[in-house]
Chain A
Amino acid sequence: MLSSYAFRKFKNKLFFFLCLICVVIAVVPLLSILFEVISRGASQLNLQFLTANALQGGIGPAIQGTLIMIGLTSLFGIPVGILSGVYLSEFGNNKYASGIRLVNNVLTQFPSIVIGITAFSLIVIYVTGSYSPLAGAVALSFILIPIVARTTEESLKLVPNSIREASLALGVHKWRTTLSVILPAAGSGLVTGTLIAVARIAGETAPLLFTILGNSFFFQGFNQPMDALPIRIFFDSRQPSAEIQAQAWGAALVLILIVLALNIGVRVASRGRFSR
């Protein structure tokens, strides 16, 4: 029979290993996913696959579509998100701003499929009358803007007040101070937050399902459905043909590379300013 003290020592060791095992268990799926995506997708990668359209067995339209989506969404969403964050941080000591902050927080928890439905009704029905990259960009912006607004506000709040005071004491207008002094000072935090948000929307599928719908062909105009990597993966995975399923893995590999590139970009950006 273990003495009380020996039992305590045993428990100490036991829980150390249990917690370690938790970490291992969590890492295994990650490694499996990476392994499967790389091994099943790599065989698909060749120039033909990356540039041809779906009828010719390629994912060119999907890659183009994802890039267009990232571009369109960022064009509109990033400035709006950042300026919202600037407002909340620099001018946000009132009831209106508190309300906006609350709404932003609620928005970040919205299920993305709900956003898809809203964008569908708003744009596809009321504005363009057809599936459209515009609708997709709107849907993704609905997700991007609250996230960027929040991370921008957090980054700006980290900038010490002494910098603001110094600039204002020199007679620089507040708007100039904000844009030329504070934003750059929050630099890498801003970039990090933005890149993470962009990486997130690059991988989103649900908002695109009802807005750009998917297409076998390259971009055909703002009134036509368009393809994107997440959609291609989703649809191809449901086809009975093993060949097409294999294409899904190839598309998955390309998507993961894009997402990882953005995430590593984040690491590089934050290493530049501080080392933790």
Chain B
Amino acid sequence: MNRQVSSIARLAAAALLVGVAVIGCARHDGAGPGQPTGPTQTTQSSQIDQSPPTLAATPTEGATVAPTATQVSTASPTQAQSVTASTTPAPAATPDPLDGQLSNINDLLNGINSSLSGSDAGTSGGE
């Protein structure tokens, strides 16, 4: 029983480490305070819009949920990690087309906001 609990705890720790590593990688790639100027506003909005499907379809997420109690209880720490990495991801749910349609509209709203800001005489350079 103790061995089983220990394996589970190690699995949880491994999952947390993967999560922290993913955060680190993302911060490194992104435009942080000391980084060069990031992409344009249009690019950002498309990134925002694409984020939810990416998260939903990430294999790591499905693989982490997938291991059964049997797999966890019999695996050594090393094996537990390989199970996490190699388990076939659960099939991602079919994305709702409405998400894409609303995302397109949000892109248009961002464009309207940008144009409204640009139309301000105070921000347009002054005569």
Verify that A and B bind, or say they do not.
Answer: no
